[in-house]
Amino acid sequence: MFLIRCPWCGERDIAEFAHGGEAHIARPEDSEELPDSEWAGYLFLRTNPKGVIAERWNHQAGCRRWFNMLRNTATDDILAVYKVGEPRPEVSANLPATPSGEAAIGSGNDAAKVMAPGERGGPVA
Amino acid sequence: MQRYNVVSLIREGLRGHAGWQPAWRFPEPKASYDAVIIGGGGHGLATAYYLAKEHGLRDIAVIEKGWIGGGNSGRNTTVIRSNYLNDESAAIYQHALDLWKTLGRELDYNIMMSHRGVLNLAHDEGEARQLKRRVEANRLNGVDSEWLEPEDVKEFCPPISISPAARYPVIGATLQRSGGTNRHDAVVWGYARAADSMGVDIIQQCEVTNIVVEGGAVTGVETTRGKISTRRVGCVTAGHTSVIAAMLGLKLPIESHPLQALVSEPVKPILPCVVMSNAVHVYVSQSDKGELVIGAGIDPYVSYTQRGSLDIIEHQMAALVELFPVFARLRMMRQWGGIVDVCPDASPIISDTPVGGFFINGGWGTGGWKATPASGHAFADLVARGEPNAIAAPFTLERFTTGALVAEHGAAAVAH
Amino acid sequence: MADAPFRRSPLFHRPPIQGEAGALRIEEQPFVGKFILRADPDAAVEPLRAALGLGLPFDPLTSSALGDTAFLWLGPDEWMLVTAPADAADRAATVRRAVSGFHHQLVDVGDYYTIIEVAGPKAREALMKLTSLDLHPRAFTPGMVTGSVFGRANATIWLPAGSAGEERFRLLIRWSIADYLWCLVAHAGREWGVPEQVPVKGETLTVG
Amino acid sequence: MSKHGYRLPRGGLIDRTRTLRFSFGRQTFDAHPGDTLASALLANGEHMVARSFKYHRPRGILSAGSEEPAALVEIGADRARSDPNTRVTEQEIFEGLKARPQNCWPTLGFDIGALNDVIAPFIPAGFYYKTFKGWPGWMAFEPLVRRAAGLGRAPALPDPDRYEAVNRHCDVLVIGGGPAGMMAALAAGRAGARVMLCEETAALGGTLLSRDPEMLSVDGKAPAEWVAAIRAELESMPDVAILTRATAFGYYSHNFVGVWERVSDHLSPATVPQRMPRQRLWRVRAKEVVLAAGSIERPLVFHENDRPGIMLAGSVRTYMHRYGVLPGRRIVVATNNDSGWDAALDMARAGGEVAAVIDLRSEMAPTHLTEAARRGIAIYGNATIVGTEGRNRISRVAVRPLTRRGGSSRPVEIECDLLAVAGGWAPNVALFAQSRGKLRYDEQIEAFRPGRSWQHERSAGAANGFFGMAECFAEGARAGADAARAAGLDPKPLAIPTVPASGQIGQGPIRVIPELPSNRPKHKIRAFIDLQDDVTTKDLGLAVKEGYRSVEHAKRYTTSGMGTDQGKVANLNAFGFLASVRGEAIPAIGTTTFRQPYKPVTFAALAGQHVGDLFAPRRTTAMHDWHRAHGAVFEPVGDWLRARAYLKEGESFHAAVQREARAARATIGVLDASTLGKVDVRGPDAREFLNRVYTNAWLKLAPGKARYGLMLGEDGMVMDDGVTACLADDHFHMTTTTGGAARVLGKLEDYLQTEWPDLKVYLTSVTEEWAVVSLCGPECHKLVSDLCDGLDADPEKFPFMTLRDAHVGGVPVRVFRISFTGELSYEINIKASYGLWLWQQVMEKGAQYGVTPYGTEAMHLLRAEKGFIIVGQETDGTVNPLDLGLIGMVKMKGDFIGRRSLFRPDSMRDDRRELVGLLTSDPNMVLMEGAQVIGGEAESEPPVPMLGWVASSYFSPNLGRSIAMALVKGGRKRTGEQLWVSRRDGAPVAVMVTATDFLAAREKADG
């Protein structure tokens, strides 16, 4: 149950928001000249990363504004929220050790549930 | 392969079950294989099985990063049906249904295929119109499918409420009698055992970290257990399809969403069939153990955490209680999530790629389980011959460029 | 006689109800004047202050009020003007004059929304059964306004400032689902003795 | 003692002054307020209460809480209020409680299903995967298997009870009301934090209530007194909420926790106050969480360890001190740690005859040894249990040394009616694991404990692996203060309650043996791991042997830990045994996933108040009451209810639709069109904006004029349509479909905010501000003129596709002359609150013209006569404007949403499905909507090639024949061709392909 910070209204339950897919996919200006493959890219191709994704959300039940959010899809950790038009912030995230692997912690992976002998304890900084 | 039957059970029973063989080996990865299948789920193991059985390819490795069947295969609600709208879909899902019918015997492993019937409910005129259109198309495609009036729905599925006073009254339903459910683990294990017995190496706890490409073609894969050379790689990693493709710099028309499911405590038989409703977003069946197995819609965002939101479950339960008031006091015993790779047209991708020798079988979204045998069958054919057969052809990546999508949102709107 | 125009509010059929000892009181406030104003705040604030003696609330979730007239912040360039039923036309005209000089939008939504007033010592607790908003007195203070989800419906909740004595929450809800929300609030009040309210139903949905 | 059965003469927190009656099966028993069903049954000497899932073996009460794996019964007096699989250890007693055994036939004592136990050797783990494949096939066996499976029975009637969900935010959520949890709540509460304290049972206190008040004091008080005092202080804090009978069942992302409160399950349904719900779902969003859910005791794994009368030692203490019940008279205690000794001595003090203490360890605490010796308790150190006896209740235990010195030593047999086992305590880490924290295996306690936190939580007390009472107090205080600080408050240090030295003791050193040795051959040992699903060590061994080595595979293959208890007491033993057979360490093989919910939660509680009448809103218009009062049949359109037809007395739906459709072209028809989406579009760039969102051109539309517009998705497929009118140069009134209104506005706002922020345009929905009365028919301009003060609606003066402002009875209205039927038609918009009045005016003033209200069905029919499309009926997301023959609607110059997609190869195919008309040769034959169009008069063998499908089909009263529209491959080129429409029941129907405007065709024909 995400707790999302609307840039205007503050932290709200996910129930108030509508998801708008991957962010920073600009609608091609000169679609006329665009090859079919590139238009298909705009329509359909997505990075769908396991890691940090920039995504669009709309505070549908609140101020009805669209905004962008950085989230780690390997952990669902929300890393940043920023307004449309603002540049994508630099963030550091708890990323998977291997491309298809799981984040060291906070993932849904079944293998990552137990600390390896000698693994550092204590809460995540 | 050691035979499984009553006789062997009794024999082993008398000797303390000392004589059972391992269902599969735990081989070390070899330096090279004719073909490498990434992903030890139902689709991946089926692919390896048919490669070995029908294309004589025995030098195959199935690489699984965890334990076989631990992804969507072990998390889905095992609804089997083929009543899809488009000819292309009907072809592949019906092919699967035909294979399911005899798979248990073929694999010598009881997959508990139960043709108990699948109801798709209509709650308003628009839905009824769409479902009737599907029934008609199904009939002409040789897919068993019929339209039931509310009273017939009630007769086929007694616990359901057909009260006209309901917020979403049941005004009819389609029924596919040959549809039903089966046992997901058994399918995975059955395919694994059969493939292993034909020489396929099933390598668990081994994760692909990179795919080696030379001159535009695959030459091998790097794994957490060393490099493996091969000229053919089949990617069958469901939710992680985009992640593997990204190793090759490929972007796909896929987004990976959480899909949740849950089971109730086991109760004596009460639900004789599978019931699905798009309008209220819930689908339910009862397992052989007695648990009600319930699914709903996907969460709207991309996530690989195999977790979803509770509010999806709350809506799902409200919908279930609305349809089945007598289930209200039963209890949710266990909930979980999977990662479903969804395509824009709610149809799968079975395709070659710009990279020579690299093939993708994914994008099954919420409906992959029912297709498992046909998916493996068609994909094995693609991996073996390098080009799609008639069943796979409509599902290549090309369709997203030409626009020839196979739109199945109506038939696949609710997870199943 | 039938010829004379008559108005009906969406909750015409719902007389006020309350729980025991007024623990929770629910009542419709029909025909309150409501207008959506869209404009660039920087351009609009001064002309409006001059015209109405009432500033536009800049900060999210806030409202500004003068007597029965108030501006509710709905978004960075969106407000709701709320007025007493009788003043609606005048106030709207005043605002329209004030902002006529620049790009704006002023839309009458007086009948689009009605107001369900929820008051009484249990009001916050009851409303928390409908919304995931934090309505604790520390978190939701007089003067605050925001949109949220209430049950399965979107609505705007507003706690007018300085409503002397007890707090009267106002739910701005669309005409077509006002009856649903009314019954949902009533359900939340059941434990304090609010009578059960059943949504209007019984329509024939199936044709024999 | 016999007089009270097994009730102790004193002690316990029950109210001995009152006696309640309850029944179990056919028998009726006495109990006291404060009893659980379990303590009451035990007090009456009833150990065996259930049968296991697979072998139907007798099952007794193992534990005293929610971890109970086996003691499940069905409760409830009637067929609506019955609850299967209820744990007797949690159900509180009330007057008249009715409980029944389940999963047994004919009786609990004599159960046919127990035959499974006889053939147990032949039905090991996963046997069903190995058989039932061949003739006659699974479908033949499945019904038998299903009947044997399942536990209780679902209710037969709908649930009469009420439920609700409640949202809460707090600074600190404390889960668990034991010593640690209470201290945590106190620390946070005194710091002024908003605190929620959730306790699963009926009372705060936790382990404190399971201790002998004579032995344990807290700050010099009896534990119960101390608990009462702290509770009183907590209750005095305005921002502290205490929930009892409330289980935190799910820890979700971003510190969202689901709490399930049983508000009235402990009361007789007859006495539950009407106003109270049965259960509540608390949806808690906590800044910080303290996990203090205590620990769970594990059983020992030995041959025949599953008989009724074998209980967890810690639970026996709970029954003694919380409920005043000692569930045995002659007792043997088997332990692998110190806590078993404390239990044994407890029982002895309470008057139980403790025959022996069996300890797996050879090193035992001297204090225990001396005290036991003083009490004449036989002591077996470094010993094991090799077997037990007793059919429906344990009667004898066989003991021998663990390590045999010189040859076999004959086991010693000890008579007993209660065997208390103490296998060591495991921190209750379920919620910590759900929060996605990482577990750490601690060899000291041979169990998992919280390792690395992920969300904003911390564990305290036994849940954190600290079992001593003093430790728990200190841990709780620490965690509470820590949480309050993290939530931004400034907690002060708390005085830690003092307890006597005896209270300090935890479990001491522990010796875990995955499977205790027996005198029988290994494969003959039946040592149970999962008491509910009958999983033995043998089953787990078989799983590993057959290759199901991963814990997940082994779990699924044997179903260990997959019962209603989800393996709370079983899992750790299962992991330990798996690790031992795999020759690995437990942390190396890992654990299965701790899934939500911590324990089963009713569907109804999760559904909350959003069921029945409150399931979902139904949107209705201002004229709704009139429609209802005049025989309207409604149809749901999205959330709206729209009048579909108005049935007169004794009139059929079909007849009504025909009558309405006829009237709309003969005299005057009136339709409630209020539900159409309406958007106020304003700004200097409004025209440009419309030009980008519609397929057609908008730059030149003059004020006062209206135009039909088509909207696409970027994929080029038709998404919505509607008429948009120009009110002023920079001001437009847009309409959308009823179902598409929200989607369209959302999409347009999206484009404005994210793609075209440069455009100066504001959008505001006005859908429900306006009630819309749509008049249709050759005469209708007269009625419009009559209604509107000073408006001459004469078609000559009020041209098509224009609008006028006017008044009706002094009320301002906006009149559009537009048509969705091809007939002369006007739409009057009035403020919604006047809608009903206007409608009544129309009916009164229209009477002289024979005005007839018509519903959506007639509207659909009328537009079909004219060949107009309905988005969602003629379109299905795969249809573009060219397919609909609306090329005229597509501007050649300038971009618009979806334009590029119209030039993709597939959009340019010449065999795309195109919208055409279909006429059957038999004018009375009405095609079925959704029927498929084929190329021949006979259906070949499947698959039959399909050319398209029938989208709309009606009998048109105005044309006196049936009409249909269909999407057909290369359809327009086929105009004039004959095709066939297939039918389930009968030969394909011959149809003629025509244009879609049937009215125009008729007029042409008529010349």
User: Are the beta carbons of A100 and B310 separated by less than 8 Å?
Assistant: no
CA nearest A61 in D: which residue?
D746
What pLDDT sits at residue D830?
Answer: 98
Indicate whether B186 pLDDT > 90. Answer: yes
Percent of chain B topping pLDDT 90: 94
User: Are the beta carbons of D904 and A106 separated by less than 8 Å?
Assistant: no
Classify strands D762-765 and D706-712 as parallel, antiparallel or unpaired. Answer: unpaired
Indicate whether D659 pLDDT > 60. Answer: yes
Indicate whether D998 pLDDT > 70. Answer: yes
Indicate whether A122 pLDDT > 70. Answer: no
Beta strands in D677-834 (DSSP E): 677-682, 706-712, 718-728, 731-736, 762-765, 770-776, 788-789, 802-808, 811-817, 825-831
d(CA D615, CA D613): 6
What pLDDT sits at residue D1006?
Answer: 84
d(CA D242, CA D174): 10
User: Are the beta carbons of B137 and D946 separated by less than 8 Å?
Assistant: yes
Yes or no: say if D721 and D744 are a contact pair by the CB < 8 Å rule: no
Total beta-carbon pairs less than 8 A apart between chain C and chain D: 159
| Residues of chain D found within 8 Å of residue A76, distances taken between Cβ atoms | 253-254
Percent of chain D topping pLDDT 90: 94
Average pLDDT, chain B: 95
Q: What is the DSSP letter of D498?
A: P
Residue range C105-150, pLDDT digits in tens:
999 999 999 999 999 999 999 999 999 999 999 999 999 999 999 9
Chains that touch D (3 or more CB pairs under 8 A): A, B, C
Helix, strand or coil, per DSSP, at residue D502: helix
B 154-183 near C (Cβ less than 8 A): 164-165, 169, 171
The helices-and-strands tally (H runs, E runs) of chain B is 11, 19
The pTM of this model reads 0.97
What pLDDT sits at residue B172?
Answer: 97
What pLDDT sits at residue D225?
Answer: 96
What pLDDT sits at residue B297?
Answer: 84
Q: For chain A, say whether B43 makes contact (Cβ under 8 Å).
A: no
CA nearest A113 in D: which residue?
D438
Q: For chain D, say whether A113 makes contact (Cβ under 8 Å).
A: yes
User: Are the beta carbons of B164 and C201 separated by less than 8 Å?
Assistant: no
Out of B391-405, C23-37, D993-1007, which region has the weakest mean confidence (pLDDT)?
A: D993-1007
Q: For chain C, say whether D617 makes contact (Cβ under 8 Å).
A: yes
Residue of D54, D82, D138 to mutate when probing chain B, most B C-beta within 10 A: D138
Count of Cβ atoms closer than 10 Å to residue D353 Cβ: 16
User: Are the beta carbons of C154 and A60 separated by less than 8 Å?
Assistant: yes
Nearest CA to C29 among C82, C91, C108, C106? C82
What pLDDT sits at residue B185?
Answer: 98
Residue range B121-161, pLDDT digits in tens:
999 999 999 999 999 999 999 999 999 999 999 999 999 99
Shortest distance between the Cα of B23 and any Cα of chain D, in A, equals 5
Helix, strand or coil, per DSSP, at residue D784: helix
What pLDDT sits at residue D176?
Answer: 98
Sign of CA dihedral A62, A67, A73, A75: negative
Q: What is the average pLDDT across D150-164?
A: 95
Total beta-carbon pairs less than 8 A apart between chain B and chain D: 316
Q: What is the average pLDDT across D480-498?
A: 97
Q: For chain D, say whether B115 makes contact (Cβ under 8 Å).
A: yes
Residue range D249-284, pLDDT digits in tens:
999 999 999 999 999 999 999 899 989 999 999 999
Residue range B287-323, pLDDT digits in tens:
999 999 999 889 999 999 998 889 999 999 999 999 9
Helix, strand or coil, per DSSP, at residue B195: helix
User: Are the beta carbons of B307 and A36 separated by less than 8 Å?
Assistant: no
Indicate whether B414 pLDDT > 70. Answer: no
How would residue A123 be classed by pLDDT, with cut points 50, 70 and 90?
low
Yes or no: say if B185 and D556 are a contact pair by the CB < 8 Å rule: yes
Asked if ipTM goes beyond 0.95, one says yes
Q: Can you say how many angstroms the Cα of residue A18 is from the centroid of all Cα atoms in its chain?
A: 14
What are B338's two structure tokens?
């999977």
Chains that touch B (3 or more CB pairs under 8 A): A, C, D
How would residue D504 be classed by pLDDT, with cut points 50, 70 and 90?
low
Residue range D863-910, pLDDT digits in tens:
999 999 999 999 999 999 999 999 999 999 999 999 999 999 999 999
What pLDDT sits at residue A103?
Answer: 86
What pLDDT sits at residue C202?
Answer: 87
| Residues of chain D found within 8 Å of residue A40, distances taken between Cβ atoms | 904
d(CA D391, CA D327): 17
- DSSP of D815-873, one letter per residue? EEE--SSSS-EEEEEEEGGGHHHHHHHHHHHHGGGTEEE--HHHHHHHHHHHT---TTT
Element (H, E) at B88: helix B87-107
Q: What is the average pLDDT across D51-71?
A: 97
What pLDDT sits at residue D745?
Answer: 98
C 42-101 near D (Cβ less than 8 A): 77
User: Are the beta carbons of B252 and A45 separated by less than 8 Å?
Assistant: yes
Q: What is the average pLDDT across B315-340?
A: 96
Nearest CB partner across the interface for A61, out of C75, C76, C148 = C148
Q: What is the average pLDDT across D430-445?
A: 95
Shortest distance between the Cα of B405 and any Cα of chain A, in A, equals 11
| Residues of chain A found within 8 Å of residue C147, distances taken between Cβ atoms | 16, 61-64
What are D280's two structure tokens?
């509540």
Residue of D275, D285, D745, D789 to mutate when probing chain C, most C C-beta within 10 A: D275
Taking 3-state DSSP, the helix, strand and coil percentages for chain C, each rounded to the nearest 5, stand at 25, 30, 45
The phi and psi torsions of D83 (rounded to 5 degrees) equal: -125, 100
d(CA B189, CA B187): 6
What pLDDT sits at residue B416?
Answer: 40
Nearest CA to D601 among D279, D818, D904, D915? D279
What pLDDT sits at residue B415?
Answer: 39
Residue range D664-683, pLDDT digits in tens:
999 999 999 999 999 999 99
Residue range D683-723, pLDDT digits in tens:
999 999 999 999 999 999 999 999 999 999 999 999 999 99
Out of A101-105, C12-16, D440-444, which region has the weakest mean confidence (pLDDT)?
A: A101-105
Q: What is the average pLDDT across D961-984?
A: 97
User: Are the beta carbons of B302 and A53 separated by less than 8 Å?
Assistant: yes
Shortest distance between the Cα of C33 and any Cα of chain A, in A, equals 21
Element (H, E) at B100: helix B87-107
Q: For chain C, say whether B310 makes contact (Cβ under 8 Å).
A: no
Residue range D127-155, pLDDT digits in tens:
999 999 878 889 999 999 999 999 999 99
- Exposure b/e, D617-648, CB count within 10 A at least 16 = b: bbbbbbbbbbbbeebbbbbbbbbbbbbbbbbe
Average pLDDT, chain C: 95
Residue range B217-249, pLDDT digits in tens:
999 999 999 999 999 999 999 999 999 999 999
What pLDDT sits at residue D173?
Answer: 98
How would residue D768 be classed by pLDDT, with cut points 50, 70 and 90?
very high
| Residues of chain C found within 8 Å of residue A4, distances taken between Cβ atoms | none
Beta strands in chain C (DSSP E): 17-18, 25-29, 33-39, 63-66, 69-75, 78-83, 104-108, 113-119, 145-150, 153-158, 168-174
Yes or no: say if B395 and B351 are a contact pair by the CB < 8 Å rule: yes
Q: Can you say how many angstroms the Cα of residue D739 is from the centroid of all Cα atoms in its chain?
A: 27
The contacts of residue B295 (CB under 8 Å, 6+ apart) are: B77, B259, B260, B261, B262, B282, B283, B284, B316, B414, B415, B416
Out of C13-22, D293-302, D519-528, D758-767, which region has the weakest mean confidence (pLDDT)?
A: D519-528
CA nearest D278 in C: which residue?
C191
How would residue C163 be classed by pLDDT, with cut points 50, 70 and 90?
low
Average pLDDT, chain D: 96
User: Are the beta carbons of A46 and B253 separated by less than 8 Å?
Assistant: yes
Q: What is the average pLDDT across D297-301?
A: 98
What pLDDT sits at residue D981?
Answer: 98
Residue of A50, A75, A95, A113 to mutate when probing chain B, most B C-beta within 10 A: A50
What pLDDT sits at residue D520?
Answer: 87
How would residue D519 be classed by pLDDT, with cut points 50, 70 and 90?
confident
d(CA D787, CA D847): 12
Residue range A8-37, pLDDT digits in tens:
999 999 999 999 999 999 999 989 899 999
Q: For chain A, say whether B402 makes contact (Cβ under 8 Å).
A: yes
User: Are the beta carbons of D900 and A28 separated by less than 8 Å?
Assistant: yes
Residue range D206-263, pLDDT digits in tens:
999 999 999 999 999 999 999 999 999 999 999 999 999 999 999 999 999 999 999 9
Q: For chain C, say whether D634 makes contact (Cβ under 8 Å).
A: yes
Helix, strand or coil, per DSSP, at residue B275: strand
User: Are the beta carbons of D166 and C128 separated by less than 8 Å?
Assistant: yes
Residue range B11-56, pLDDT digits in tens:
999 999 999 999 999 999 999 999 999 999 999 999 999 999 999 9
